[in-house]
């Protein structure tokens, strides 16, 4: 069905070994999955549209007039800025939209909304990238984020879906600064029936080293590292994150293979500031955007795409396990402007 990641074998198998799976009849196996997948994805899209309704409604009112004029573009500019799209992304979207209106000879304001969705999807396209598992064993994924962004919950959801796809996961409880963090991650480990490396009062970097070493020794596909939540202005804690990354590299010189930042979609331009700060410190490879349900600031993804285009691997619209999904630029743009 709809995988959260692309699983890639560490090394190609001999041609005679892969031939049966390539030549085997695919139709009987694929048809039932496709039948189930379509309504599953549609259900997700419905949740996304509902979650982005506050942002979308403020934009939709712009297109209720009778003509396409400067007033319409001025209202749209204000609406985009209010949705935390940012000045640079707003300017790019308006310029692109005016070009599309001119080329298509559109005269109805209602039709402009569809053209804006196309322009937004094109702007967001660079953020669309799958998480690849299997090029390294284990694939070490380091997860960062400020307190309250939904970092540990996102790790739990990601663990669930990775496990469902057949990947073996080991969790590392390296958030030793927050008293309940280790216990929270242990609950997710029990719920997902995966192993966890956890040491009370231990140095976070030491926990990570042990986890990566254990992941290699136990043949795990993925090691997910939960780091301490912190603000980018807490320089001593940001230095701790850099230390964790260095120590992980001592356990596996190719690791970490992914460095993800979890951001709260409700924080708007502050989320962009977090992406800049954590990317400068850790060289981020991907984002998880949470809490998009009920946000009026859904335009922040456009700002990220324009100013710091770190790929968005997943977006979330709720607390349930199935409310974290792969990011699609076109789906997001259509949901925002539905």
Query: What does the pLDDT look like over 66-105, one tens digit per residue?
Result: 788 899 999 999 999 999 999 999 999 999 999 999 999 9
Tell me how long the chain is: 338
- As given in the structure block, the two tokens for residue 147 are 């307190």
Minimal CA–CA distance to 131: which of 209, 46, 207, 224? 224
Q: Return d(Cα 327, Cα 121) in angstroms, integer.
A: 12
For the chain, what is the radius of gyration of the CA atoms? Answer: 22
Helix (DSSP H) and strand (DSSP E) numbers for the chain: 13, 10
Specify the pLDDT at position 78.
93
Specify the pLDDT at position 232.
62
Q: How far is CA 149 from CA 146, 242, 266, 337, in A?
A: 6, 20, 9, 25
Q: How far is CA 44 from CA 50, 296, 298, 318, in A?
A: 10, 19, 17, 11
Q: Return d(Cα 118, Cα 224) in angstroms, integer.
A: 36
Look up the pTM and report it.
0.85
Distance of CA 38 to the CA centre of its chain: 21
Specify the pLDDT at position 35.
41
Q: How far is CA 40 from CA 50, 52, 146, 154, 315, in A?
A: 16, 19, 31, 20, 16
283 vs 293 pLDDT, higher one: 283
Residues 6+ apart with CB under 8 A from 1: 33, 36, 37, 40
Residues 6+ apart with CB under 8 A from 71: 65
> Residue 195: is its pLDDT beyond 70?
yes
- Bridge partners (DSSP) of residue 172 are 197, 225
> Residue 18: is its pLDDT beyond 60?
no
The domains found in the chain, sorted by start residue, are 52-126 (1.20.120.140), 131-329 (3.40.50.300)
**Surface-to-core class of residue 294, CB atoms within 10 Å of its CB (0-12 exposed, 13-18 middle, 19+ buried):** middle
103-118 confidence digits (pLDDT tens): 999 888 888 999 999 9
Q: Is 295 left (phi over 0), alpha (psi -120 to 50) or beta?
A: beta
Q: How confident is the model at residue 22 (pLDDT cuts 50, 70, 90)?
A: very low
CA angle 168, 172, 174 (to 5 degrees): 165
């Amino acid at each position: 069905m709809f995988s959260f990641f692309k699983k890639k074998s560490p090394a190609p198998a001999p041609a005679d070994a892969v031939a049966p799976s390539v030549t085997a009849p695919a139709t009987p196996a694929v048809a039932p999955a496709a039948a189930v997948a379509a309504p599953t994805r549609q259900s997700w899209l419905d949740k996304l549209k509902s979650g982005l309704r506050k942002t979308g409604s403020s934009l939709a009112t712009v297109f209720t007039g009778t003509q396409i004029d400067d007033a319409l573009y001025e209202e749209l500019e204000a609406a985009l800025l209010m949705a935390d799209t940012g000045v640079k992304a707003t300017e790019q979207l308006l310029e692109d939209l005016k070009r599309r209106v001119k080329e298509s000879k559109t005269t109805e304001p209602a039709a402009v909304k569809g053209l804006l969705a196309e322009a937004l999807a094109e702007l967001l396209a660079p953020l669309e990238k799958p998480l690849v598992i299997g090029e390294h064993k284990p694939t070490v994924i380091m997860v960062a984020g400020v307190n309250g962004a939904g970092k540990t919950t996102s790790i739990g959801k990601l663990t669930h879906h990775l496990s469902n796809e057949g990947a073996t996961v080991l969790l590392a409880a390296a958030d030793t600064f927050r008293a309940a963090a280790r216990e929270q991650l242990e609950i997710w480990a029990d719920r997902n029936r995966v192993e966890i490396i956890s040491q009370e009062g231990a140095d976070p970097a030491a926990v990570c080293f042990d986890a990566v070493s254990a992941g290699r020794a136990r043949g795990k596909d993925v090691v997910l590292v939960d780091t301490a939540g912190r603000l980018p202005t807490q320089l001593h804690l940001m230095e701790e994150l850099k230390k964790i990354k260095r120590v992980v590299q001592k356990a596996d010189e190719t690791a970490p293979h992914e460095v993800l930042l979890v951001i709260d979609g409700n924080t708007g331009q502050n989320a962009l500031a977090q992406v800049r700060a954590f990317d400068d410190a850790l060289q981020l490879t991907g984002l998880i955007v949470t809490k998009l349900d009920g946000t009026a600031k859904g335009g922040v993804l456009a700002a990220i795409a324009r100013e710091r285009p770190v790929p968005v691997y997943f977006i979330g619209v709720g607390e349930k396990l199935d409310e974290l999904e792969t990011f699609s630029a076109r789906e997001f743009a259509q949901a925002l402007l539905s």
